[in-house]
Structure 1
């Protein structure tokens, strides 16, 4: 029945669009395909005719920082009728994906690489998620291209409606798969690392010979098009981009004491750990990385890395030291020497743009690292608002964290419109 529906839908689209439809089918069987032969990509642009509730906003004005446009956006985000109209329940996606062809067409997913340059430089993504299907689907749509490969890890403790919705979405795409070994993710504990490791293994063992690995969570969103990401990664020439700095003295307890998961939470046992099995200091960094295929090979096979990971399983927030430390090991592909001159802050790394509440301040403040958050805060991290977009798009980072459609859907809406228009303009 599902195949019959798909066939009928394609027939109707063919009649509606005429011979143009043949240009929009996947072209993996045509190695000589040239995007310039496509008559028009205008149907892939996100427009007001898509009937999104957010279309009442002036995204052009928001991206330019116009006060009136930002005030209107702020008012809408606190209006119940508007926020209710934007919210999509998990169950919607189960119904929407019954006909995958219709779903992908309606949501305007890219079904062909937009350039030969992108097709020749496939990327691998790990996506660790546990709630908010709508966040996930809009992130996926923003980063999806058919030449890339995507591993999705859903927390084993996630709601069944969330899991089933994600399953239905992923089955619509041949290059997206669910991780083979999901785990119960515990915030700030080893299972959070294990979730990424399991996706890394699946991606590394896949048939796609991707060039770089990027890990994401459900509240990330890109700041660059796929072509811009590819060109940035090409310029790294095999190097990684990882936040890696000296561990602050106040955080050393995280790795000096043994920790244990008790009742679903990580807790300090008070027992001192043995020194780490490496000849360099434990570094401090971010859970989110941009690394070469060779780096992932070392994570899978290097005995020094494997020993460090085994030692780190009872530490607090191991994802904030593990990648940063591996990055400073001699012999790991794309790594940097263990010297303070090679330290890299999260603002200098390209993986993720995050606003920490303690580092925000006015534009004239000499003590602030970035302007004040225009959204809200959760665990001292800015949940971006529409007013943050103008500043964000000037940064060099590939992705930003955190976004939440329940908090400010307009920030996501304007950003995704901007990125799609930019991606299509790159074809000119």
Structure 2
């Protein structure tokens, strides 16, 4: 007699079979998602198509002396400098077709992660020239969930303003400040430019968490995701330089200053004492502050009174923010006791190399010598500074200038984009 063969599996066999099918389906989904992720984002990586890519950025970031020297030589070569310049008129033409401009310049069109999407950031960027440097800064920090207010100095050439207008018109979340100032170095107008953007950003959207102010010579040292995580770690506090005023600097807020023929000058007229019950502190122009801090600056009577008093000082941004940060009623503030002082090294707002603090670190210097050049005792970074810079905790660094060293910006932007996309894998 023929034996009977079981064609259908047993009940236990069915369970194994279904588990295998489920696992295979899950594996296929994962593979599909990974392929889709590569397809969706691979085009956003910066490929070697720019003139600056003649140098090997990987070697530069590894502080290879020969590659850094090659970058220095190319930076001063006339023919090379001509190749890397893009004029106002060229950017106006490039941005006529916004879809093409966004795709060609590889702007992010969707949030890279849910964590970033749920933590929007507001920026003010105060600029007056060098459209190419501005556009590369904007591209490096751009994310569709963030908000960007651009303040263009009234003295800027019409072609520069037209180029900025053309670029910003391609984005719903990037806009020109509703009120532009004629910015004079070290005067109140520089602070007012930021406050104008604060007002616009505060009224435009209620979802952003932190405000950061930038200038045209800043560049990020962190990806947007890394910035978000740094800001989250502050837990509602602010981060900015705020210290006891050094001897000799009190004159900046004790004497009345006024603009004469486009230059801020000190008079012999004494100012009234500050309308606060804490000392005046010293700090920097750059801040990382909460939305509540911005609301306090714009609305609080005590803050407004102190702001009004500060308007005729010298570089008022270098004592205004530092002092507001020590007022007990300020959101995210710290106590005025000197033990809470924060230096520019400890703050995450900005990395700056001051010429008089450079040298051999083993002998007490704060940081190694500048690889680029100095302007007003501040290092304008060169490619040789990048390896050291990326080891620091700051969110941004100042100063960069593509006319002096285009490789510093190019290698940094390529590194950051690669890091941002690598986090998705």
CA contact (8 A) 1:257 1:270 kept: yes
Cα distance change on mapping 1:36 and 1:230 into 2, 3 Å = farther
Give the equivalent residue in structure 2 for 1:130: 128
Specify the structure having the higher radius of gyration (Cα). Answer: 2
Partners in 2 of 1:178 and 1:269 — Cα distance?
35
3-state SS of paired residue (1:205) = helix
Aligned ranges 1:384-395 → 2 under 5 Å: 384-395=381-392
Q: Give the whole-Å Cα distance in 1 for the aligned partners of 2:396 and 2:306.
A: 28
Q: What is the aligned partner in structure 2 of residue 28 from structure 1? A: none
1-structure distance, mates of 2:269, 2:349:
34
Q: Is the 8 A contact 1:36 1:427 kept in 2?
A: no
Matched, 1:377 2:393: no
Q: Which residue of 2 aligns with 1:364?
A: 362
Q: Which runs of 5+ in 1 are unaligned?
A: 1-33
Which whole-Å CA distance do the structure 2 matches of 1:62 and 1:184 have between them? 39
Tell me if the contact between 1:373 and 1:384 (Cα under 8 Å) persists in the aligned partners. Answer: yes
Contact kept? 1:189, 1:261, Cα under 8 Å:
yes
How far the C-alpha of 1:35 sits from its partner, in A, is 9.4
How far residue 327 of structure 1 moved from its aligned partner, in angstroms, is 0.2
Q: How does 1:202-217 map to 2 (within 5 A)?
A: 202-217=200-215
Q: Per-residue displacement from partner, 1:54-84 (whole Å, max 9, x unpaired)?
A: 1110100000001111111111111111111
Corresponding residue for residue 47 of structure 1: 47
Secondary structure of the corresponding residue to residue 405 of structure 1: coil
Cα distance in 2 for partners of 1:172, 1:223 equals: 25
Report matched runs for 1:201-240 at 5 Å.
201-240=199-238
Aligned-residue CA RMSD (Å): 1.1
TM-score of the aligned structures, taking structure 1 as reference length = 0.90
Q: Measured at CA, do residues 263 and 417 of structure 1 come closer, stay the same or move farther in structure 2, by a change above 3 Å?
A: same
Taking structure 2 as the reference length, what is the TM-score of the superposition? 0.91
Deviation at 1:36, TM superposition (A): 8.8
The aligned counterpart of 1:244 is 242
Partners of 1:386 and 1:376 lie apart in 2 by: 11
Measured in 1, the distance between the counterparts of 2:129 and 2:246 equals: 32
Distance 1:365 1:153 in 2: 42
Shifted more, 214-223 versus 77-86: the winner is 77-86
Aligned residue among 63, 85, 88 for 1:87: 85
Q: Tell me which moved more, 200-209 or 344-353.
A: 200-209
Q: Specify the SS of the correspondent of 2:125.
A: strand
Distance across 2 between alignment mates of 1:247 and 1:371: 26
Distance in 2 separating the partners of 1:283 and 1:208? 30
* 1:13 aligned partner: none
The 5 Å alignment of 1:141-152 reads 141-152=139-150
For 1:314 and 1:188, the matched residues in 2 are separated by 10
How far apart in 2 are the matches of 1:263 and 1:389?
39
Offset of 1:364 from its aligned partner?
2.9
Q: Is the 8 A contact 1:77 1:407 kept in 2?
A: yes
Equivalent residues in 2 for 1:94-133, closer than 5 Å: 94-133=92-131
Query: Counterparts of 1:37 and 1:279 in 2: how far apart (Å)?
Result: 59
Shift of 1:394: 0.1
Structure 2 Cα separation of the partners of residues 331 and 234 of structure 1: 22
Hey, what's the Cα distance between the residues in 2 that align with 1:183 and 1:67?
A: 44
Q: CA deviation at 1:359?
A: 0.8
Match of 2:339 in 1: 341
**Residue in 2 aligned with 1:38?**
37
Distance 2:82 2:361 in 1: 34
1:406 matched to which residue of 2? Answer: 403
3-state SS of the aligned residue for 1:370? Answer: coil
Q: Which whole-Å deviations, capped at 9, do the CAs of 1:356-378 have from their partners, x for residues lacking one?
A: 11111123322x21110000011
Whole-angstrom distance in 1 between the partners of 2:412 and 2:95: 24
The gaps in structure 2 that reach 5 residues or longer are 1-32
Which one of the candidate residues 162, 166, 178 is aligned to 1:180?
178
**Any residues of structure 2 matched to 1:245-394 within 5 Å, and which?**
245-366=243-364, 368-394=365-391
Deviations 1:268-289 (A, max 9, x none): 1111111000001110001000
What residue in structure 2 maps to residue 190 of structure 1?
188
Match of 1:417 among 387, 392, 414: 414
Q: How far, CA to CA, are the matches of 2:301 and 2:64 in structure 1?
A: 54
Question: In structure 2, do the counterparts of structure 1 residues 39 and 67 end up closer, same or farther at CA, with 3 Å as the change threshold?
Answer: closer
| Cα-to-partner distance string for 1:235-287 (whole Å, 9 max, x where unaligned) | 10100001000011111111110000100111011111110000011100010
